[in-house]
């Protein structure tokens, strides 16, 4: 009914103005466009805008142009639900979002109820697909996969050292920290300290002092770059050489802007860097020509939009049920490589690897 009213209104306006009516298909991305994690929102926005522009330049989808809506959830669960409802009102048929797991999970309930397909480029908490509806997918990995890799690494490389695991109490941060700790314990290494911290603070000296008192030599942070960056700086201020290890929420140049040289040697897990994929080279150049570095989740968001375009074309429709049949049975050629989805909606792409920060950049360890 919503779509019919929109179409009738567009047709009436065109008739009155004498301009032909052109149908549009509305897709969206949503994430932290403002706030302390805005660098990730900007990654998603850049990827979605380029994908929509490229698809439209080739004729759109089903002969119609794509229109992009951008939602700002600030990584807040309540705001994410409000954004999801706003997207429903805007006639969105596909959501390439959200970023934070704590946003994607509650928003997914709205999308399921309203018949909107959701493909997150970045939300890694297992609950998103384990408990989500048939409309929920992701093109990134899962924290149980990421935690398995990180925990095994910590247990093997730092077996004789004192390791602390801390988290920010979010669905992403705590989920990743717990998965990493479980994996590390499985491989025979026990943590010296397990603590929670509050995201958004500027002073972590109390936590750092506790780490120092316990002679912590390796700190695993289940959380985001903004807090991890402050922690490593404040550890260096207290004369600590503790190695900071974290997950995929450090894949932003903003981490180094916070840490400066204190970030040297930071380790993190992330999927294989899609910028290094030969098939991505022309797109990477196109982004750089526009002054955009396609780091982190830029190309993951681009791929999310590619999946929709290919699935809708194959289905011959934007109807959710028809597209879902395609998504559940088809491989898609994307900037990330060929990918498909399992019965839960998780992606069939290579898992996690380790990176190290050096001289302001991250690369494979």
- Residue 207, pLDDT above cutoff 50: yes
Per-residue model confidence as pLDDT tens digits over 112-144: 999 999 999 999 999 999 999 999 999 999 999
Residue 72 per-residue DSSP state = E
Q: What is the pLDDT of residues 322-359, one digit of tens each?
A: 999 999 999 999 999 999 999 999 999 989 999 999 99
Residue range 14-28: mean pLDDT, rounded: 63
Residue in 255, 72, 268, 103 with CA at minimum distance from that of residue 170: 103
Tokens representing residue 351 in the block: 């898992």
What is the C-alpha to C-alpha distance for residues 51 and 307, in angstroms, rounded to an integer? 11
Q: In which band, very low, low, confident or very high, does the pLDDT at 18 lie, cut at 50, 70 and 90?
A: very low
Give every CB contact of residue 69 below 8 A, 6+ residues apart in sequence: 26, 27, 28, 29, 87, 90, 92
Kindly report, residue by residue over 217-262, the tens digit of the pLDDT: 999 999 999 999 999 999 999 999 999 999 999 999 999 999 999 9
Give all domains of the chain, ordered by start, each with its CATH number.
2-141+276-339 (3.40.50.2300), 144-270 (3.40.50.2300)
């Amino acid at each position: 009914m919503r779509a019919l009213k929109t179409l009738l209104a567009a047709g009436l306006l065109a008739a009155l103005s004498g301009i032909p009516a052109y149908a549009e298909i509305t897709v969206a991305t949503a994430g932290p466009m403002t706030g302390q994690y805005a660098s990730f929102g900007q990654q998603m926005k850049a990827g979605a805008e380029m994908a929509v522009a490229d698809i439209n330049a080739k004729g759109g989808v089903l002969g119609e142009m794509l229109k992009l809506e951008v939602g700002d959830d600030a990584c807040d669960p309540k705001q994410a639900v409000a954004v999801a409802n706003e997207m429903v009102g805007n006639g969105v048929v596909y959501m390439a979002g959200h970023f934070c797991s704590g946003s994607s999970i509650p928003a997914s309930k709205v999308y399921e109820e309203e018949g909107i397909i959701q493909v997150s480029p970045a939300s890694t908490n297992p609950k998103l697909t384990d408990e989500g509806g048939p409309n929920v997918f992701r093109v990134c990995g899962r924290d149980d996969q990421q935690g398995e890799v990180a925990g095994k690494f910590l247990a093997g490389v730092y077996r004789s050292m004192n390791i602390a695991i801390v988290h920010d109490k979010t669905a992403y941060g705590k989920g990743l920290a717990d998965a990493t700790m479980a994996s590390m314990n499985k491989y025979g290494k026990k943590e010296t300290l397990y603590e929670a911290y509050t995201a958004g603070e500027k002073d972590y000296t109390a936590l750092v002092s506790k780490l120092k008192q316990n002679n912590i030599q390796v700190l695993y942070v289940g959380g985001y770059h903004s807090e991890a960056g402050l922690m490593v700086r404040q550890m260096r201020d207290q004369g600590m050489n503790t190695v900071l290890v974290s997950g995929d929420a450090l894949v932003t140049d903003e981490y180094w802007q916070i840490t400066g040289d204190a970030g040297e040697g930071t380790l993190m897990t992330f999927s294989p860097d899609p910028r290094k994929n030969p098939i991505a080279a022309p797109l990477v150049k196109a982004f750089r020509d526009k002054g955009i570095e396609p780091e982190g989740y830029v190309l993951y968001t681009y791929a999310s939009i590619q999946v929709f375009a290919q699935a809708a074309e194959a289905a011959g429709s934007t109807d959710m049920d028809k597209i879902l049949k395609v998504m559940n049975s088809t491989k898609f050629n994307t900037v990330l490589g060929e990918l498909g989805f399992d019965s839960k909606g998780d992606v069939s792409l290579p898992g996690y690897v380790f990176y190290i920060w050096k001289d302001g950049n991250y690369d494979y360890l």
